[in-house]
């Protein structure tokens, strides 16, 4: 069975600084997707970034980038130039690439960006 672990329940960062959120996972699959989702107080789940396991290159989306270490089963999210609007819960998620794309979510990290 797949598992996703986020070991940091809460984090804070000063505006304009950089923060890294950690995620580890466990799977016996060789190909899969990894995601980071953001859930602000509005409750809307928003896709931040996606990584395909067969790609060695780390995904990047503007100020968001990942450090994907497949052998270590690690998938961290780096937020650069943090903004107040980045304040939210961040969930790491895993999905297989076969069958029903069933998602497994981590327990989340609450990030607070301080002015």
Partner 1 sequence: SAVISQKPSRDICQRGTSLTIQCQVDSQVTMMFWYRQQPGQSLTLIATANQGSEATYESGFVIDKFPISRPNLTFSTLTVSNMSPEDSSIYLCSVEDDAGRAFFGQGTRLTVV
**Shortest gap between Cβ of 8 and partner 1 (angstroms)?**
14
Question: Can you tell me the distance from the alpha carbon of 105 to that of 45, in angstroms, rounded to the nearest whole number?
Answer: 12
Tokens 């997707």, residue located: 33
Q: Is 106 near partner 1 (CB under 8 A)?
A: yes
Q: Is 30 near partner 1 (CB under 8 A)?
A: no
Nearer to partner 1, 18 or 44 (CB): 44
Which string of x and - marks every residue 70-99 that binds partner 1 (by CB under 8 A)? Answer: ---------------------x-x-x-x--
**Shortest gap between Cβ of 25 and partner 1 (angstroms)?**
13
7: left (phi over 0), alpha (psi -120 to 50) or beta: alpha
Nearer to partner 1, 51 or 82 (CB): 51
Contacts of 65 (CB under 8 A, 6+ apart): 49, 58, 59, 77, 78, 80
């Amino acid at each position: 069975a797949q598992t996703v672990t986020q070991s940091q329940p809460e984090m804070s960062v000063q505006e304009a600084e950089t923060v890294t959120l950690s995620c580890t996972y466990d799977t016996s699959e060789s190909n899969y997707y990894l995601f980071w989702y953001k859930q602000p107080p509005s409750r809307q789940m928003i896709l931040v970034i996606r990584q395909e396991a067969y790609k060695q290159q780390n995904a990047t989306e503007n100020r968001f980038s990942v450090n994907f270490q497949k052998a270590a089963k690690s998938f961290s999210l780096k937020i650069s130039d943090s903004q107040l609007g980045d304040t939210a819960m961040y969930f790491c998620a895993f999905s297989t690439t076969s069958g029903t794309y069933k998602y497994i979510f981590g327990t989340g990290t609450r990030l607070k960006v301080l002015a």
